[in-house]
Structure 1
């Protein structure tokens, strides 16, 4: 059955992964970018039927761990580096080095060839210019600014239990400040947060619609909403932007490894890199220029200048403890 939607699919209920000539792919790419990338992959491999399940990062992590005794997928695609190094997930993967993968710098690849990251994203605020003015507020430039009592009830954030964007925001703040000071800061920030939303993109949509002044989201959602005409400004927090890499990997139990490897080979081609560059602020493959619309929206030419040096292994190791503590303190 050829799938046309990015939803839970009946093929995932089969007792084994996809049969020969068919791939089942799990992804956490946003729906619009996942659809665009998949269309290109299908053009490159028209002989292979591609079924895709797209879920928010937290939900996909939980699904993969629940299925680890009998994985239902052939590939991980656009999956958080901070999650793929989880031992419960990494043990389901088989080493594979696609043709061309060595063009990706070593820090963006597993030393054992269990995974490689081709793209990424970073934390950014979507600030509604009109609501900001109506409320008489100054443009925030940092996470610290969002703790000002003037922003009470005007900030929305992703829920880190379900959203990869939300988790990397919380994890990076704790890495920046240290555990004690980090949780104290989050206590102050929580006083101004109106709600925590399941998706990483929805806080930006809520701010874009004028429901709140600030939606803590990520770079490309802000850029796309600006280009669609919403009255928002993208703000990259001055403390340094927490960021996430999006990794690809071969699942060891796949029944169609040859086609799965062909797919992974395609993900490091110049064609794929060009596509990533149209959707992603962080592209690990060399070459290409950022679209002018990205720069016009406020993205720096060199994003390394604004990124906080995220420790992905620590983010993965601490995830359960961080989520548990966050839920105890802030879940509503």
Structure 2
């Protein structure tokens, strides 16, 4: 009996040790100035964030740790499809950015693996998966962007107000003047679609979406492009994330941004791909992306809102000042994906 108890204790200790080891790293790295020494290690990342965001974090990670990297920038839906296709022989270690529901989808399909990062306590529970399959580093609301020069020249004398709601976009005068991403390829657009359905109910949302769709002149592959096209004046109005729009505005383009009431929003998150080719190297990158240093560096090039509250943000926006659809359910959005895309594609 005593022998059995002894064996049970040994097994328990073994399991705890291994679980803890899996949750940190099996590389037995040393640390220098607070950073892991990853010289000779490599990392492969699929980036659905803006390219400058992914590159900035990866380059800073390389400077601090010595880890080399390569990345591929692609829209959210393409990234998830690639991870799914490669699940038996993964080619990447990390999926970064894109819509949060995509990370939830990867979790449900067992394409990602659990990892509780070192900075988990610095991120509020609303901005991370409760089981540790993804963690957010930025928050962005959807917004309407308008080219101010074109508006004043072509529409300002018509007695119209600058659009600040999705209902304002239904006016036939805007036919062909609106640009937005395609929900089939863009996580930005899928957030727009799913948040409207959750907030308004399917029938009301379908009616609104059908009328907006009639006025759209172009559907882009990714979520960033609409802000660019409105900035240059190619289109009058666009729909995408506010951070993308503010980057264009701060580059000198004369645009106006309006976040509609009950707008959808997204958490830019990061997940470790299950059985990635470089093992636990990806865990160190997740640790790094959730540090204050990384958040501060990101605030210099991105105008989203950090999930950390202790950074020196240059963002012009505060989540608490916006009337967004706070009850947006990322898990439901993930579960409803196939049904909602079918509905969207059937609108005419």
Which range, TM-score by smaller chain? Answer: 0.7 to 0.9
Larger radius of gyration: 2
The whole-number CA distance in structure 2 between the counterparts of 1:87 and 1:28 is: 14
Deviations 1:108-167 (A, max 9, x none): 222221111111222112200111122224211111111122222211111111111111
Question: Which of 127, 144, 147 is 1:108 aligned to?
Answer: 127
The whole-number CA distance in structure 2 between the counterparts of 1:164 and 1:287 is: 28
Q: Which runs of 5+ in 1 are unaligned?
A: 1-19
Task: State yes or no: 1:264 paired with 2:264.
Answer: no
Indicate the SS of the match to 2:209. helix
1:91 deviates by 0.8
1:87 deviates by 5.3
Distance 1:158 1:273, change over 3 A: same
The whole-number CA distance in structure 1 between the counterparts of 2:278 and 2:214 is: 50
Asked whether the 8 Å contact 1:125–1:204 carries over to 2, the reply is no
Aligned to 2:195: 172
1:254 deviates by 2.6
Corresponding residue pairs, total: 303
Asked whether the 8 Å contact 1:84–1:247 carries over to 2, the reply is yes
Aligned to 2:209: 186
Q: TM-score by structure 1 length?
A: 0.86
Indicate the SS of the match to 1:257. coil
Aligned to 1:119: 138
Indicate the SS of the match to 1:85. helix
Q: TM-score by structure 2 length?
A: 0.82
User: Following TM superposition, where does structure 1 have runs of at least 4 consecutive aligned residues deviating by more than 4 angstroms?
Assistant: 87-90
Deviations 1:232-254 (A, max 9, x none): 111111x2221111222222313
Aligned to 1:75: 94
Asked whether the 8 Å contact 2:47–2:96 carries over to 1, the reply is yes
Q: Which runs of 5+ in 2 are unaligned?
A: 1-39
1:43 deviates by 1.0
Deviations 1:7-29 (A, max 9, x none): xxxxxxxxxxxxx7111111211
Asked whether the 8 Å contact 1:119–1:276 carries over to 2, the reply is no
Aligned to 2:25: none
Asked whether the 8 Å contact 1:84–1:90 carries over to 2, the reply is no
Q: How does 1:141-152 map to 2 (within 5 A)?
A: 141-152=164-175
Task: State yes or no: 1:312 paired with 2:330.
Answer: yes
1:304 deviates by 5.8
Aligned to 1:133: 152
The whole-number CA distance in structure 1 between the counterparts of 2:214 and 2:111 is: 40
Task: State yes or no: 1:246 paired with 2:264.
Answer: no
